[in-house]
Amino acid sequence: MKHTRVPQSRTVLGSVGTVALIAAALTLQSAQAAPAKADAEPPTATAAAQRARTISSALGPDAAGFYYDAPHRKLVVNVTTRTAAAKVRGAGAEAKLVRHSLTSLNAARATLKQKATIVGTSWAMDPKSNQVVVVADRTVTGDRLTQLKKVVASLGDRAVLKQSPGALRPLIAGGNAIWGTAARCSLGFNVIRDGQPYFLTAGHCANAVRSWSASQGGPEFAVTEAGSFPGDDFGIAKYTDATDAHPGRVDLYNGSMQAIGKVGDAIVGEPVRRSGSSTRLRSGDVIAVEVTANYQEGPVDDLVQASICAESGDSGGPLFEGDTALGITSGGRGTCASNGESFYQPVREALEKTGSHLG
């Protein structure tokens, strides 16, 4: 079995987009400081995420993150100057003037990466508070907690430390249950690669299991071809029978299925759902993106964090909104009895690095 470690080419928060295509339009619109049209169609979370990345790219160093206000169905873009705020309003979004730029917050994250990569911690930029939120689980104690507090304090009001009673861990046990001799995980999304049917799951699951069954002790129905963990957390397995139907759907555990036909990028504030073989269908909101989670096995970067509990066996399951695939369950902190949270590998990156596409 091959453990894929593909060189990463990731971007800073809110910096993805096509600058040249909209920079001129933003400049022209901002000259009139035009507010967003009151009768404009409110964006969906998926559309808001796409628009936010494009706007932020055009703003350059004045950009400071963004999020989706789900109750009011509006995109909020953080900026550090009034000029940038006018450009954001001219592009049809709400502007929020904040103190810290993305450059400053990313520098804080780099400091944490260098000086506080401690097992049991995670951190991410929270665009709502304009801070890097650092969370330590119950295993971070003694000298390690002292060191963490020292590093966070050195960052001033750019960072805040919180403590969680749960333990940060991948959610392997041992979508729909998939079984190996060493683990039980969940199937993420059915995909096509080189014209053949495959499925995506968590990388830590793929690294632990070569041969998969649809039931415990049942016949083999798929074989792992690659897994990437830590660093990333995705794996891909090939179905052994290409003639069987492998629909692009997610089990909602109520007798129905959700068709999946699109790939999206999660945005803070977006309402989402997760399906898994242990806790079935759960819903919540995206708390953060580009999260670093320091598992016992090593750090995983650029995860999506959601206010959805997950437990052992849910690893690999799908995160989605409507018919849009967003992520693959990686790990969590806490349980469903304690309002736990969960982390997800972005599905777009998994598709790109495995050379696959939704089926």
Across the range 124-145, mean pLDDT stands at 98
pLDDT in tens, 72-105: 999 999 999 999 999 999 999 999 999 999 999 9
Q: What is the pLDDT of residue 147?
A: 98
**Residues 108-130: what's their mean pLDDT?**
98
Q: What is the mean pLDDT of residues 206-211?
A: 96
Residue 281 pLDDT more than 90?
yes
Confidence of residue 15 (pLDDT cuts 50, 70, 90): very low
Query: Mean pLDDT, to the nearest integer, of 13-27?
Result: 33
Task: Write down the pLDDT at residue 242.
Answer: 83
Region 131-154 average pLDDT = 98
Residue 31: its pLDDT value, please?
28
Minimum mean pLDDT range among 55-69, 174-188, 224-238, 331-345: 174-188
Residues classed as catalytic: 204, 233, 315
Q: How far apart are CA 274 and CA 315, in angstroms?
A: 11
pLDDT in tens, 212-253: 999 999 999 999 999 999 999 999 999 999 888 888 999 999
Q: Is the pLDDT of residue 33 over 60?
A: no
At 175, the pLDDT band (50, 70, 90 cuts) reads confident
Report whether pLDDT(23) > 80.
Answer: no
Percentage of the residues of the chain whose pLDDT score is greater than 90: 82
Structural domains in the chain, CATH included, are 19-97 (no CATH), 102-164 (3.30.300.50), 165-359 (2.40.10.10)
Whether the per-residue pLDDT at 179 is higher than 50: the answer is yes
Across 133-150, average pLDDT: 98
pLDDT of residue 54 exceeding 70: yes
**Per-residue pLDDT, 75:** 97
pLDDT(182) > 90: no
Q: Residue 176: pLDDT band by 50, 70, 90 thresholds?
A: confident
Residue 172, pLDDT score: 76
Specify the pTM.
0.86
* Residue 14 pLDDT: 37
Residue 8 clears pLDDT 90, i.e. is over it:
no
